Structure 1
Protein backbone atom coordinates (compact mmCIF):
# COMPACT_ATOMS: atom_id res chain seq x y z
CA UNK A 1 0.00 0.00 0.00
CA UNK A 2 1.30 3.45 -0.89
CA UNK A 3 2.63 5.68 1.88
CA UNK A 4 1.64 9.34 2.07
CA UNK A 5 3.62 12.28 3.42
CA UNK A 6 1.58 15.17 4.80
CA UNK A 7 2.86 18.73 5.07
CA UNK A 8 0.76 19.81 8.04
CA UNK A 9 0.47 22.45 10.72
CA UNK A 10 -1.32 24.76 8.30
CA UNK A 11 -3.26 24.91 10.66
CA UNK A 12 -3.02 22.30 13.35
CA UNK A 13 -6.79 21.75 13.68
CA UNK A 14 -7.22 20.72 10.07
CA UNK A 15 -4.05 18.59 10.17
CA UNK A 16 -5.64 16.49 12.91
CA UNK A 17 -8.82 16.23 10.83
CA UNK A 18 -6.82 15.22 7.74
CA UNK A 19 -5.10 12.47 9.72
CA UNK A 20 -8.32 11.10 11.17
CA UNK A 21 -10.23 11.41 7.90
CA UNK A 22 -7.58 9.59 5.87
CA UNK A 23 -7.60 6.75 8.40
CA UNK A 24 -11.40 6.57 8.42
CA UNK A 25 -11.70 6.64 4.62
CA UNK A 26 -8.87 4.11 4.26
CA UNK A 27 -10.58 1.69 6.61
CA UNK A 28 -13.89 2.13 4.79
CA UNK A 29 -12.22 1.32 1.48
CA UNK A 30 -10.50 -1.73 2.98
CA UNK A 31 -13.72 -2.80 4.69
CA UNK A 32 -11.97 -3.34 8.01
CA UNK A 33 -11.19 -1.43 11.19
CA UNK A 34 -8.18 -3.66 11.82
CA UNK A 35 -5.94 -1.94 9.31
CA UNK A 36 -4.24 1.45 9.28
CA UNK A 37 -2.50 3.45 6.54
CA UNK A 38 1.15 4.38 6.96
CA UNK A 39 1.42 8.16 7.12
CA UNK A 40 4.18 10.66 7.83
CA UNK A 41 3.36 14.19 9.00
CA UNK A 42 5.84 17.05 8.78
CA UNK A 43 4.19 19.80 10.81
CA UNK A 44 5.48 23.25 9.89
CA UNK A 45 4.61 26.79 11.02
CA UNK A 46 1.56 28.32 9.30
CA UNK A 47 2.52 31.79 10.54
CA UNK A 48 5.69 31.61 8.44
CA UNK A 49 3.46 30.86 5.45
CA UNK A 50 1.25 33.87 6.15
CA UNK A 51 4.26 36.15 6.67
CA UNK A 52 5.98 35.11 3.45
CA UNK A 53 2.81 35.67 1.43
CA UNK A 54 1.83 38.96 3.06
CA UNK A 55 5.37 40.25 2.41
CA UNK A 56 5.27 38.62 -1.05
CA UNK A 57 8.45 36.67 -0.36
CA UNK A 58 7.54 33.84 -2.71
CA UNK A 59 11.10 32.51 -2.99
CA UNK A 60 11.16 32.05 0.79
CA UNK A 61 7.73 30.41 0.66
CA UNK A 62 8.85 27.99 -2.03
CA UNK A 63 12.02 27.17 -0.09
CA UNK A 64 10.11 26.66 3.17
CA UNK A 65 7.40 24.40 1.79
CA UNK A 66 9.84 22.71 -0.58
CA UNK A 67 12.15 21.84 2.31
CA UNK A 68 9.19 20.26 4.11
CA UNK A 69 8.42 18.20 1.00
CA UNK A 70 12.04 17.08 0.59
CA UNK A 71 12.17 15.85 4.18
CA UNK A 72 9.13 13.67 3.48
CA UNK A 73 10.66 12.43 0.25
CA UNK A 74 13.69 11.24 2.23
CA UNK A 75 11.31 8.95 4.14
CA UNK A 76 10.55 7.26 0.79
CA UNK A 77 6.89 8.18 0.69
CA UNK A 78 4.97 7.46 -2.51
CA UNK A 79 3.07 10.75 -2.57
CA UNK A 80 2.93 14.09 -0.77
CA UNK A 81 0.10 16.45 0.08
CA UNK A 82 -0.03 19.97 1.46
CA UNK A 83 -2.81 19.88 4.07
CA UNK A 84 -4.08 23.40 3.37
CA UNK A 85 -5.31 25.52 0.47
CA UNK A 86 -3.26 28.71 0.79
CA UNK A 87 0.24 27.19 0.27
CA UNK A 88 -0.98 25.79 -3.07
CA UNK A 89 -0.05 29.25 -4.32
CA UNK A 90 3.41 27.69 -4.94
CA UNK A 91 2.31 24.09 -5.50
CA UNK A 92 3.88 23.76 -8.96
CA UNK A 93 7.20 25.16 -7.79
CA UNK A 94 7.28 22.81 -4.79
CA UNK A 95 6.45 19.82 -6.98
CA UNK A 96 9.55 20.57 -9.04
CA UNK A 97 11.70 20.11 -5.93
CA UNK A 98 10.70 16.48 -5.35
CA UNK A 99 10.52 13.46 -7.62
CA UNK A 100 7.50 11.84 -5.95
CA UNK A 101 4.03 12.98 -7.09
CA UNK A 102 2.16 15.61 -5.12
CA UNK A 103 -1.62 15.56 -4.99
CA UNK A 104 -3.18 19.00 -5.47
CA UNK A 105 -6.20 20.10 -3.46
CA UNK A 106 -7.07 22.55 -6.23
CA UNK A 107 -7.02 19.98 -9.03
CA UNK A 108 -9.06 17.56 -6.93
CA UNK A 109 -11.68 20.27 -6.30
CA UNK A 110 -11.89 21.14 -10.00
CA UNK A 111 -12.54 17.47 -10.76
CA UNK A 112 -15.30 17.33 -8.15
CA UNK A 113 -16.90 20.49 -9.53
CA UNK A 114 -16.93 18.87 -12.96
CA UNK A 115 -18.64 15.79 -11.54
CA UNK A 116 -21.29 17.91 -9.84
CA UNK A 117 -21.88 20.04 -12.93
CA UNK A 118 -21.73 23.36 -11.07
CA UNK A 119 -20.83 26.51 -13.02
CA UNK A 120 -21.10 29.69 -10.91
CA UNK A 121 -19.08 28.92 -7.82
CA UNK A 122 -18.42 31.00 -4.71
CA UNK A 123 -15.01 30.79 -3.05
CA UNK A 124 -14.26 31.44 0.62
CA UNK A 125 -10.86 31.08 2.24
CA UNK A 126 -7.98 33.15 3.53
CA UNK A 127 -7.47 36.54 1.92
CA UNK A 128 -4.56 35.06 -0.02
CA UNK A 129 -6.69 32.28 -1.47
CA UNK A 130 -9.50 34.64 -2.45
CA UNK A 131 -7.39 37.43 -3.94
CA UNK A 132 -4.77 35.38 -5.83
CA UNK A 133 -5.43 33.47 -9.06
CA UNK A 134 -3.93 30.07 -8.20
CA UNK A 135 -7.32 28.67 -7.14
CA UNK A 136 -9.47 30.57 -9.64
CA UNK A 137 -7.51 29.93 -12.85
CA UNK A 138 -8.00 26.13 -13.09
CA UNK A 139 -11.76 26.64 -12.71
CA UNK A 140 -11.86 29.37 -15.33
CA UNK A 141 -9.87 27.13 -17.67
CA UNK A 142 -12.69 24.60 -17.19
CA UNK A 143 -15.18 27.34 -18.19
CA UNK A 144 -16.48 27.84 -14.69
CA UNK A 145 -16.98 31.21 -13.03
CA UNK A 146 -15.55 31.90 -9.57
CA UNK A 147 -16.95 34.66 -7.35
CA UNK A 148 -15.37 35.99 -4.17
CA UNK A 149 -16.61 38.55 -1.62
CA UNK A 150 -15.64 42.22 -1.78
CA UNK A 151 -12.20 43.22 -0.53
CA UNK A 152 -13.25 44.45 2.92
CA UNK A 153 -15.27 41.26 3.45
CA UNK A 154 -12.26 39.19 2.41
CA UNK A 155 -10.20 40.90 5.11
CA UNK A 156 -12.88 40.20 7.73
CA UNK A 157 -13.08 36.53 6.76
CA UNK A 158 -9.30 36.25 6.81
CA UNK A 159 -8.98 37.71 10.30
CA UNK A 160 -11.67 35.40 11.67
CA UNK A 161 -10.09 32.35 10.04
CA UNK A 162 -6.59 33.13 11.32
CA UNK A 163 -7.51 34.34 14.80
CA UNK A 164 -10.37 31.95 15.57
CA UNK A 165 -10.80 28.91 13.32
CA UNK A 166 -7.08 28.20 12.93
CA UNK A 167 -6.97 27.99 16.73
CA UNK A 168 -10.00 25.73 17.03
CA UNK A 169 -12.33 28.56 18.14
CA UNK A 170 -15.86 28.53 16.71
CA UNK A 171 -18.08 31.42 17.81
CA UNK A 172 -21.84 31.48 17.04
CA UNK A 173 -21.65 35.14 16.02
CA UNK A 174 -18.85 34.37 13.57
CA UNK A 175 -20.89 31.59 11.98
CA UNK A 176 -23.85 33.97 11.71
CA UNK A 177 -21.70 36.59 9.96
CA UNK A 178 -20.12 34.02 7.62
CA UNK A 179 -23.53 32.63 6.71
CA UNK A 180 -24.85 36.11 5.94
CA UNK A 181 -21.91 36.68 3.61
CA UNK A 182 -22.67 33.49 1.72
CA UNK A 183 -26.41 34.23 1.60
CA UNK A 184 -25.61 37.59 0.01
CA UNK A 185 -23.35 35.88 -2.55
CA UNK A 186 -26.17 33.49 -3.42
CA UNK A 187 -28.59 36.37 -3.89
CA UNK A 188 -26.32 38.96 -5.51
CA UNK A 189 -23.76 36.87 -7.40
CA UNK A 190 -26.12 33.97 -8.22
CA UNK A 191 -23.62 31.32 -7.10
CA UNK A 192 -24.85 27.73 -7.48
CA UNK A 193 -22.26 26.17 -5.15
CA UNK A 194 -19.61 27.17 -2.60
CA UNK A 195 -15.99 26.14 -2.25
CA UNK A 196 -14.85 25.85 1.35
CA UNK A 197 -11.40 27.00 0.32
CA UNK A 198 -9.93 26.85 3.80
CA UNK A 199 -9.63 23.49 5.51
CA UNK A 200 -10.98 24.97 8.75
CA UNK A 201 -14.27 26.16 7.24
CA UNK A 202 -16.03 22.79 7.77
CA UNK A 203 -15.75 23.63 11.48
CA UNK A 204 -18.31 26.38 10.92
CA UNK A 205 -20.38 25.24 7.90
CA UNK A 206 -22.25 22.07 6.97
CA UNK A 207 -24.48 21.05 4.05
CA UNK A 208 -27.55 21.85 6.17
CA UNK A 209 -26.65 25.54 6.28
CA UNK A 210 -27.40 26.23 2.61
CA UNK A 211 -29.56 25.14 -0.31
CA UNK A 212 -26.54 24.96 -2.61
CA UNK A 213 -23.87 22.23 -2.57
CA UNK A 214 -20.64 22.79 -0.66
CA UNK A 215 -17.31 21.75 -2.14
CA UNK A 216 -15.38 20.82 1.01
CA UNK A 217 -11.80 20.96 -0.21
CA UNK A 218 -10.38 18.88 2.64
CA UNK A 219 -12.96 16.11 2.20
CA UNK A 220 -12.38 16.12 -1.57
CA UNK A 221 -8.61 16.05 -1.05
CA UNK A 222 -8.82 13.16 1.41
CA UNK A 223 -10.86 11.11 -1.08
CA UNK A 224 -8.27 11.78 -3.77
CA UNK A 225 -5.43 10.81 -1.43
CA UNK A 226 -7.03 7.51 -0.39
CA UNK A 227 -7.81 6.64 -4.03
CA UNK A 228 -4.12 7.28 -4.81
CA UNK A 229 -3.06 4.96 -1.98
CA UNK A 230 -5.10 2.15 -3.51
CA UNK A 231 -3.90 2.65 -7.10
CA UNK A 232 -2.36 -0.48 -8.69
CA UNK A 233 -3.13 -2.57 -5.61
Structure 2
Protein backbone atom coordinates (compact mmCIF):
# COMPACT_ATOMS: atom_id res chain seq x y z
CA UNK A 1 0.00 0.00 0.00
CA UNK A 2 1.14 3.50 -0.73
CA UNK A 3 2.31 5.90 1.96
CA UNK A 4 0.81 9.37 1.85
CA UNK A 5 2.69 12.53 2.77
CA UNK A 6 0.57 15.43 4.02
CA UNK A 7 1.64 19.07 4.07
CA UNK A 8 -0.42 20.17 7.05
CA UNK A 9 -0.87 23.16 9.31
CA UNK A 10 -2.97 24.96 6.68
CA UNK A 11 -4.77 25.09 9.01
CA UNK A 12 -4.37 22.84 12.03
CA UNK A 13 -8.09 21.97 12.18
CA UNK A 14 -8.05 20.67 8.61
CA UNK A 15 -4.89 18.68 9.33
CA UNK A 16 -6.61 16.88 12.20
CA UNK A 17 -9.64 16.19 9.98
CA UNK A 18 -7.45 14.75 7.21
CA UNK A 19 -5.60 12.51 9.67
CA UNK A 20 -8.72 11.18 11.37
CA UNK A 21 -10.72 10.81 8.16
CA UNK A 22 -7.95 8.97 6.32
CA UNK A 23 -7.67 6.50 9.19
CA UNK A 24 -11.43 6.02 9.44
CA UNK A 25 -11.96 5.55 5.69
CA UNK A 26 -8.91 3.27 5.42
CA UNK A 27 -10.20 1.00 8.19
CA UNK A 28 -13.69 0.97 6.68
CA UNK A 29 -12.31 -0.02 3.27
CA UNK A 30 -9.96 -2.68 4.62
CA UNK A 31 -12.62 -3.97 7.03
CA UNK A 32 -10.55 -3.92 10.21
CA UNK A 33 -10.04 -1.58 13.16
CA UNK A 34 -6.67 -3.22 13.76
CA UNK A 35 -5.11 -1.88 10.56
CA UNK A 36 -3.72 1.63 10.03
CA UNK A 37 -2.40 3.48 6.97
CA UNK A 38 1.20 4.63 6.98
CA UNK A 39 1.41 8.38 6.57
CA UNK A 40 3.68 11.31 7.25
CA UNK A 41 2.61 14.84 8.22
CA UNK A 42 4.80 17.92 7.79
CA UNK A 43 2.95 20.71 9.60
CA UNK A 44 4.02 24.14 8.38
CA UNK A 45 3.22 27.66 9.60
CA UNK A 46 -0.02 28.80 7.95
CA UNK A 47 0.44 32.41 9.10
CA UNK A 48 3.92 32.59 7.58
CA UNK A 49 2.45 31.48 4.26
CA UNK A 50 -0.47 33.95 4.50
CA UNK A 51 1.98 36.78 5.20
CA UNK A 52 4.00 35.87 2.12
CA UNK A 53 0.85 35.80 -0.02
CA UNK A 54 -0.40 39.11 1.36
CA UNK A 55 2.91 40.73 0.45
CA UNK A 56 3.00 39.17 -3.01
CA UNK A 57 6.07 37.06 -2.25
CA UNK A 58 5.15 34.18 -4.56
CA UNK A 59 8.73 32.94 -4.96
CA UNK A 60 9.03 32.59 -1.21
CA UNK A 61 5.69 30.73 -1.06
CA UNK A 62 6.84 28.33 -3.78
CA UNK A 63 10.17 27.74 -2.00
CA UNK A 64 8.48 27.25 1.39
CA UNK A 65 5.95 24.72 0.12
CA UNK A 66 8.41 22.95 -2.19
CA UNK A 67 10.71 22.42 0.78
CA UNK A 68 7.78 20.98 2.76
CA UNK A 69 6.97 18.52 -0.04
CA UNK A 70 10.62 17.49 -0.50
CA UNK A 71 10.92 16.66 3.20
CA UNK A 72 7.96 14.29 2.87
CA UNK A 73 9.53 12.70 -0.18
CA UNK A 74 12.81 12.21 1.71
CA UNK A 75 11.14 10.23 4.53
CA UNK A 76 9.48 7.77 2.18
CA UNK A 77 6.08 9.12 1.09
CA UNK A 78 4.85 7.71 -2.22
CA UNK A 79 2.69 10.73 -3.02
CA UNK A 80 1.91 14.08 -1.39
CA UNK A 81 -1.19 16.16 -0.75
CA UNK A 82 -1.48 19.69 0.60
CA UNK A 83 -4.42 19.82 3.01
CA UNK A 84 -5.55 23.31 2.14
CA UNK A 85 -7.04 25.06 -0.88
CA UNK A 86 -5.10 28.32 -0.67
CA UNK A 87 -1.62 26.76 -1.18
CA UNK A 88 -2.81 25.35 -4.50
CA UNK A 89 -2.28 28.85 -5.88
CA UNK A 90 1.28 27.61 -6.57
CA UNK A 91 0.53 23.88 -6.97
CA UNK A 92 1.73 23.65 -10.57
CA UNK A 93 5.01 25.42 -9.79
CA UNK A 94 5.68 23.08 -6.87
CA UNK A 95 4.90 19.95 -8.89
CA UNK A 96 7.45 21.07 -11.50
CA UNK A 97 10.15 21.29 -8.81
CA UNK A 98 9.63 17.89 -7.15
CA UNK A 99 9.79 14.31 -8.38
CA UNK A 100 7.06 12.87 -6.15
CA UNK A 101 3.46 12.79 -7.49
CA UNK A 102 1.06 15.31 -5.95
CA UNK A 103 -2.73 15.13 -5.89
CA UNK A 104 -4.53 18.43 -6.51
CA UNK A 105 -7.59 19.34 -4.45
CA UNK A 106 -8.62 21.70 -7.27
CA UNK A 107 -8.51 19.05 -9.99
CA UNK A 108 -10.42 16.52 -7.87
CA UNK A 109 -13.09 19.12 -7.08
CA UNK A 110 -13.46 19.98 -10.75
CA UNK A 111 -13.90 16.28 -11.59
CA UNK A 112 -16.62 16.03 -8.93
CA UNK A 113 -18.47 19.04 -10.40
CA UNK A 114 -18.19 17.44 -13.82
CA UNK A 115 -19.66 14.18 -12.48
CA UNK A 116 -22.58 16.18 -11.07
CA UNK A 117 -23.06 17.84 -14.49
CA UNK A 118 -22.97 21.32 -12.97
CA UNK A 119 -22.84 24.25 -15.39
CA UNK A 120 -22.58 27.16 -12.95
CA UNK A 121 -20.99 26.93 -9.53
CA UNK A 122 -20.03 29.28 -6.70
CA UNK A 123 -16.75 29.39 -4.80
CA UNK A 124 -16.04 30.59 -1.26
CA UNK A 125 -12.74 30.41 0.61
CA UNK A 126 -9.92 32.68 1.71
CA UNK A 127 -9.43 35.93 -0.19
CA UNK A 128 -6.44 34.35 -1.95
CA UNK A 129 -8.65 31.54 -3.27
CA UNK A 130 -11.50 33.84 -4.29
CA UNK A 131 -9.40 36.65 -5.81
CA UNK A 132 -7.06 34.52 -7.92
CA UNK A 133 -7.94 32.32 -10.87
CA UNK A 134 -6.09 29.10 -9.94
CA UNK A 135 -9.30 27.43 -8.75
CA UNK A 136 -11.42 28.70 -11.63
CA UNK A 137 -9.08 27.64 -14.47
CA UNK A 138 -10.02 23.94 -14.81
CA UNK A 139 -13.70 24.82 -14.49
CA UNK A 140 -13.75 27.61 -17.07
CA UNK A 141 -11.53 25.58 -19.42
CA UNK A 142 -14.21 22.90 -19.43
CA UNK A 143 -17.30 25.12 -19.77
CA UNK A 144 -18.28 25.25 -16.09
CA UNK A 145 -18.84 28.84 -15.02
CA UNK A 146 -17.51 29.67 -11.57
CA UNK A 147 -18.54 32.81 -9.66
CA UNK A 148 -17.36 34.30 -6.37
CA UNK A 149 -19.03 36.60 -3.82
CA UNK A 150 -18.78 40.37 -4.20
CA UNK A 151 -15.92 42.31 -2.60
CA UNK A 152 -17.54 43.06 0.77
CA UNK A 153 -18.76 39.46 1.06
CA UNK A 154 -15.26 38.20 0.27
CA UNK A 155 -13.74 40.38 2.98
CA UNK A 156 -16.26 39.08 5.54
CA UNK A 157 -15.67 35.44 4.57
CA UNK A 158 -11.88 35.75 4.70
CA UNK A 159 -11.89 37.50 8.07
CA UNK A 160 -14.14 34.88 9.64
CA UNK A 161 -12.06 32.02 8.23
CA UNK A 162 -8.79 33.41 9.59
CA UNK A 163 -10.08 34.71 12.93
CA UNK A 164 -12.49 31.88 13.75
CA UNK A 165 -12.41 28.69 11.69
CA UNK A 166 -8.62 28.42 11.46
CA UNK A 167 -8.64 28.54 15.27
CA UNK A 168 -11.36 25.91 15.64
CA UNK A 169 -14.08 28.44 16.52
CA UNK A 170 -17.55 27.63 15.18
CA UNK A 171 -19.89 30.60 15.61
CA UNK A 172 -23.59 30.25 14.81
CA UNK A 173 -23.87 33.91 13.77
CA UNK A 174 -21.01 33.39 11.33
CA UNK A 175 -22.80 30.34 9.95
CA UNK A 176 -25.91 32.45 9.34
CA UNK A 177 -23.76 35.06 7.60
CA UNK A 178 -22.11 32.51 5.31
CA UNK A 179 -25.42 30.85 4.44
CA UNK A 180 -26.91 34.26 3.69
CA UNK A 181 -24.09 34.97 1.22
CA UNK A 182 -24.52 31.58 -0.47
CA UNK A 183 -28.27 32.14 -0.77
CA UNK A 184 -27.57 35.57 -2.25
CA UNK A 185 -25.37 33.87 -4.84
CA UNK A 186 -28.13 31.38 -5.63
CA UNK A 187 -30.64 34.20 -6.21
CA UNK A 188 -28.23 36.69 -7.78
CA UNK A 189 -26.00 34.42 -9.86
CA UNK A 190 -28.09 31.28 -10.35
CA UNK A 191 -25.43 28.89 -9.04
CA UNK A 192 -26.28 25.17 -8.98
CA UNK A 193 -23.67 24.27 -6.41
CA UNK A 194 -21.12 25.79 -4.04
CA UNK A 195 -17.47 24.83 -3.61
CA UNK A 196 -16.41 25.01 0.03
CA UNK A 197 -12.96 26.17 -1.01
CA UNK A 198 -11.42 26.18 2.44
CA UNK A 199 -10.89 22.89 4.23
CA UNK A 200 -12.25 24.35 7.49
CA UNK A 201 -15.58 25.43 5.99
CA UNK A 202 -17.29 22.04 6.57
CA UNK A 203 -16.97 22.77 10.30
CA UNK A 204 -19.54 25.49 9.68
CA UNK A 205 -21.57 24.51 6.62
CA UNK A 206 -23.19 21.08 6.31
CA UNK A 207 -24.80 19.50 3.24
CA UNK A 208 -28.23 19.65 4.86
CA UNK A 209 -27.91 23.45 5.25
CA UNK A 210 -28.36 24.02 1.52
CA UNK A 211 -30.74 23.09 -1.27
CA UNK A 212 -27.94 23.01 -3.87
CA UNK A 213 -24.92 20.75 -4.27
CA UNK A 214 -22.24 21.42 -1.65
CA UNK A 215 -18.76 20.35 -2.72
CA UNK A 216 -16.65 19.65 0.37
CA UNK A 217 -13.13 19.92 -1.06
CA UNK A 218 -11.54 18.20 1.94
CA UNK A 219 -13.88 15.19 1.67
CA UNK A 220 -13.34 14.96 -2.10
CA UNK A 221 -9.56 15.13 -1.61
CA UNK A 222 -9.56 12.53 1.17
CA UNK A 223 -11.65 10.09 -0.87
CA UNK A 224 -9.06 10.32 -3.66
CA UNK A 225 -6.25 9.79 -1.15
CA UNK A 226 -7.88 6.55 0.01
CA UNK A 227 -8.25 5.35 -3.57
CA UNK A 228 -4.55 5.97 -4.23
CA UNK A 229 -3.36 4.31 -1.02
CA UNK A 230 -4.91 1.08 -2.27
CA UNK A 231 -3.62 1.41 -5.85
CA UNK A 232 -1.23 -1.32 -6.99
CA UNK A 233 0.18 0.51 -9.98
CA UNK A 234 2.61 3.42 -9.95
CA UNK A 235 1.13 6.91 -10.07
> Which TM-score band applies after superposition, normalised by the shorter structure?
over 0.9
- Residues matched between the structures, number: 233
**1:95 maps to which residue?**
95
Unaligned runs of 5+ in 2: none
Q: Which residue of 2 aligns with 1:111?
A: 111
Q: Write the deviation string for residues 162-219 of structure 1: whole angstroms up to 9, x where unpaired.
A: 0000000011110111110001101110000000000000000011111001000000
Q: Are the aligned partners of 1:6 and 1:81 in contact in 2 as well (CA < 8 Å)?
A: yes
Q: Partners of 1:221 and 1:174 in 2: how far apart? A: 25
Question: Normalising by the residue count of structure 2, what TM-score does the alignment of the two structures yield?
Answer: 0.98
1:70/1:97 contact within 8 Å kept: no
Cα deviation 1:124-165 (Å, max 9, x = unaligned) = 000000010000011111110001000111011000000000
Measured after TM superposition, the shift of residue 59 of structure 1 is 0.2
**What is the distance in 2 between the residues matched to 1:165 and 1:84?**
13
* RMSD (Å), alpha carbons: 0.8
SS at match of 2:190: coil
Equivalent residues in 2 for 1:21-40 (5 A)?
21-40=21-40
Q: Which residue of 1 is the match for residue 139 of structure 2?
A: 139
| 1:8 shift after superposition | 0.1
Which blocks of at least 5 consecutive residues in structure 1 are unaligned? none
Query: Equivalent residue of 1:96, what SS?
Result: helix
Distance 2:93 2:66 in 1: 8
**1:29, distance to aligned residue in structure 2 (A):** 1.4
Shift in Å, 1:97? 2.1
Instruction: Tell me which residue corresponds to 2:19.
Output: 19
More divergent stretch after superposition (92-101 vs 189-198): 92-101
Aligned to 1:86: 86
Q: Give the deviation of 1:47 after TM superposition.
A: 0.5
Any residues of structure 2 matched to 1:122-201 within 5 Å, and which?
122-201=122-201
Distance in 1 (CA, whole Å) between partners of 2:111 and 2:43 is 27
Alpha carbons 1:2, 1:230 under 8 Å: kept: yes
How far is the alpha carbon of 1:27 from its aligned partner? Answer: 1.1
Give how far 1:103 is off: 0.4
